[in-house]
């Protein structure tokens, strides 16, 4: 199943997502999220972006893996994740996009190194450390579970410049190769 991706303007993207009850079967949802993400050519997708306010996101950085530089992150499912950023590392500022806010790139400072604990689809607990690009993707997706978006990191000036563009997205005037759902 492919879900339409929830567009900016829907209040669900601003909610703090709810913890998922342990042992809940999520295989089908996760598969649908992978399929949806792949079609939209994303590297990460959080459950609120398909209309489920729950603490789950998926990632697939396969196409961005640089020969072992930051460790390889293929397809992964993160359930009830807890993120710890290493605030001793200097933030790295790079432009990010978001499938819910198409064609809007924002320079976002992210920590270079993070630790994340989470459950997988079999409800096995994991604790991992990531650096570089996968760490950035994880921080972006984790933000979605907190109701935070990449545009929140924009400077005051940039926020002003983005106003019109965000209004047009909210109105459904976007041209993307994937289906979106707009808030009415
Ligand atoms: Zn996003």
- Of 15, 95, 141, 146, the active-site residue reads 141
Ligand 1 centroid, distance to 124 Cα (angstroms): 26
Ligand 1 centroid, distance to 149 Cα (angstroms): 7
Q: Which secondary structure element, helix H or strand E, spans residue 110, and what is its range?
A: strand 101-110
Q: What span, in angstroms and rounded, lies between the C-alpha atoms of 125 and 177?
A: 36
pLDDT tens-digit profile, the chain (184 residues): 999 999 999 999 999 999 999 999 999 999 999 999 999 999 999 999 999 999 999 999 887 665 445 556 789 999 999 999 888 888 999 999 999 999 999 999 999 999 999 999 999 999 999 988 999 999 999 999 999 999 999 999 999 999 999 999 999 999 999 999 999 8
Our CA dihedral for 58, 62, 63, 67, rounded to 10 degrees, sits at 140
Q: Which secondary structure element, helix H or strand E, spans residue 57, and what is its range?
A: strand 56-60
pTM: 0.94
Ligand 1 centroid, distance to 143 Cα (angstroms): 8
User: 68: which residues sit within 8 A by CB, 6+ positions away?
Assistant: none
- Residues flanking ion ligand 1, Cβ below 5 Å: 98
| Catalytic status, residue 141 | yes
Ligand 1 centroid, distance to 106 Cα (angstroms): 11
Q: What span, in angstroms and rounded, lies between the C-alpha atoms of 174 and 14?
A: 20
């Amino acid at each position: 199943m492919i879900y339409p991706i929830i567009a900016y303007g829907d209040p669900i993207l601003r909610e703090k997502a709810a913890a998922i009850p342990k042992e809940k079967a999520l295989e089908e949802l996760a598969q649908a999220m992978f399929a949806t993400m792949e079609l939209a050519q994303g590297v990460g997708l959080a459950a609120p972006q398909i209309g489920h306010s729950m603490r789950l996101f998926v990632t697939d950085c396969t196409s961005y893996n640089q020969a072992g530089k930051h460790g390889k992150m293929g397809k992964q499912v993160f359930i009830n994740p807890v993120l710890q950023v290493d605030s001793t590392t200097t933030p790295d500022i790079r432009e990010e996009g978001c499938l819910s806010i198409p064609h809007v790139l924002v320079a976002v400072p992210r920590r270079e190194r993070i630790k994340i604990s989470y459950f997988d689809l079999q409800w096995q607990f994991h604790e991992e450390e990531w650096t570089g690009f996968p760490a950035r993707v994880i921080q972006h997706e984790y933000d979605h579970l907190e109701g935070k978006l990449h545009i929140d990191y924009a400077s005051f000036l940039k926020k002003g410049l983005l106003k019109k563009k965000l209004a047009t997205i909210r109105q459904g005037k976007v041209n993307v190769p994937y289906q979106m759902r707009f808030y009415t």
